[in-house]
Amino acid sequence: MKCLICERRKGKRHCPAKNGYICPTCCGDKRGVEINCPLDCTYYVEGQRYQQEKVSRQRLRKEGAGSFIRRAEMYNKNPEIFNDIEIAFVNVFRTNNRIRNADLAEGLGLVLKTLDTEKRGLVYNHRSENSIANEISARVLRIIRDYKDNIELRKSKISLDYGREVVQEFLHEVEFFVENEVNSRSYFIHILRYHPQRAETSHPAGNIILTS
């Protein structure tokens, strides 16, 4: 039986999303990225774990344990905002899959500049010539401001400084991919693997939520 996707190699793995057999190469390359994998697929779960371990090992080797502890502490304070920001990245990527790691880094740089300006008491959105970077920046700022200012979210309200730290952490992570990965979209592929289900933006308050 031939792989349903490439129609060349042998289909050895049952793919629940494609409802048929695909080859290990297509599964490895496309799972969670081009294939909308259900979370109970063992190939998906195993692949995800492998990917995560690989990136963790690389970062640990390069940066030491300190950066991990710092990130874990920050994450535990408010996991929802990390999730919302990742979903924003996924949504931007799914509407424009030409976007590169470098565009994301530029967008996050704009967010940091804007938050620094805000800290000095001025509301001014820094922009660049790069429209994708502007789009990233606008989406991330909307999330930060929602968590910072929206009283309905009082439970997980954040400070400007915390929002800035989170953005800095994402930027740091993206820069790691820019420096260490050949594929210019590797960070998106990494993030997509954590969010395989279709994610849509929609919420009256401007939040980004999962609808599937």
Complex with Zn ion: residue 6 or 74, whichever CB lies closer? 6
- Cβ 7 to Zn ion shortest distance, Å: 7
CA distance linking residue 35 with residue 15, whole number of Å: 9
Shortest Å, Cβ 211 to Zn ion: 30
Minimum distance between the CB of residue 3 and Zn ion, rounded to whole angstroms? Answer: 3
Q: Which is nearer to Zn ion, 12 or 198 (CB)?
A: 12
Which tokens hold the place of 178? 């820019």
Tokens encoding 142: 């909307």
What is residue 113's three-state secondary structure?
A: helix
Tell me which DSSP letter residue 152 carries: G
CB of 20 to Zn ion, least distance (A): 11
Nearer to Zn ion, 27 or 108 (CB): 27
Residues forming contacts to Zn ion in the complex (CB under 5 A) are 3, 5-6, 9, 23, 26
> Which of 20, 18, 22 is CA-nearest to residue 9?
22
- Closer residue to Zn ion in complex, CB, 18/71: 18
Which residues are paired to 69 by β-bridges?
none
In the complex with Zn ion, the residue whose CB is nearer, 32 or 163, is 32
* Residue 5 or 174 with smaller CB distance to Zn ion: 5
What is the Cβ-side half-sphere exposure of residue 163, based on CA atoms within 13 angstroms?
Answer: 24
Residue 157, C-beta contacts closer than 8 angstroms, at least 6 positions apart = 147, 148
Closest approach of Cβ 6 to Zn ion, in Å?
Answer: 3
Contacts of 7 (CB under 8 A, 6+ apart): none
3-class DSSP state of 159: coil
